[in-house]
Amino acid sequence: MNHHDISPTEQTDYRISDALGGLPLLNASFATQCFSRHVHEEYTISVVERGVQRFFRSRADHLAPTGQIILVNADDVHTGHAASAGGWSYRAMYPLPEQFAAIGRDLGLGAAMPPYFRQPVVDDPPLAAQLVLVLDTLATHQQQLLRETLVYGFLVNLACRHGRIEAPSVPAARHPRIEQVRAYLDAYPTHDISLQVLAELAELTPYHLVRSFSKQVGLPPHAYQTQLRLKLARQLLRDGVAIVETAHACGFHDQSHLHRHFKRAMGITPGQFVKQYQLPSAQ
């Protein structure tokens, strides 16, 4: 299953492989695309095939030239845009932590799965070549045993070479009132709540709430709420809810509002997303 979106400067091929019970894949060329700060529940594992990508991850900006691997952990705040004339091209897979964990259980790796990747950019030509081989095989070969064997081998190799067991240490000064606000947004992502009400909940001024929340979470409250709504939208779309109904159910003003935020975070449209699941919500 795949879908192409081609313009003079942009091209995406998004598909869901049947490997590991469902593994999203993306083959993209971008010139003007600028990914906003966002998160998603999967890892991002990509290799740059043309140009240079600049992106934010782990509170810093990074450059990934051609041939290098980009690693983004699940729920890491990150961005992405071109850092070279003519844009950049890359290919990516998006495994879930649960898929890493299942491989770990199968192989007796225990706490080593799912891994934490400390380095956002990895210069490892043999591993990059292995990733390209895996992506080529998933795109062209129908033999399930071969496909899943290569995926298993690559993910285990990646985790063993560049993964760590422990996540980064949690900063000591986590503001409990900020966590209270975050918990509220997590529980009620579609509520149309004002900054003033959140500030009163945290017993802070609106200015100090935005500043403290951004520092602790990595996103300001409104952007964090948008990411929660996008996560909910992806789930509703996978469940077959129509795009327009999903937009309203998730707190977006209309379908175009969802489309804009979805494209800025995912690089594809909601319509492209649902077509990979052969769902009626693509209509």
pLDDT level of residue 114 (50, 70, 90 thresholds): confident
In this predicted structure, the answer to whether residue 19 has a pLDDT above a threshold of 50 is yes
pLDDT-wise least confident of 14-18, 54-58, 173-177, 233-237: 173-177
Structural domains of the chain, ranges and CATH numbers in brackets: 3-164 (2.60.120.10), 176-282 (1.10.10.60)
Tens-digit pLDDT profile for residues 169-184: 555 467 899 999 999 9
pLDDT at 1: 43
Q: What is the pLDDT of residues 242-255, one digit of tens each?
A: 999 999 999 999 99
Full-model pTM: 0.83
What is the rounded distance in angstroms from the CA atom of residue 232 to the CA atom of residue 188?
Answer: 11
Q: What's the pLDDT band for 168 if we cut at 50, 70, 90? A: low
HSE (side-chain half, CA atoms, 13 Å) at 267: 32
As a three-state string, the secondary structure of 264-279 is HHHCCCHHHHHHCCCC
**Looking at residue 283, what is its pLDDT?**
43
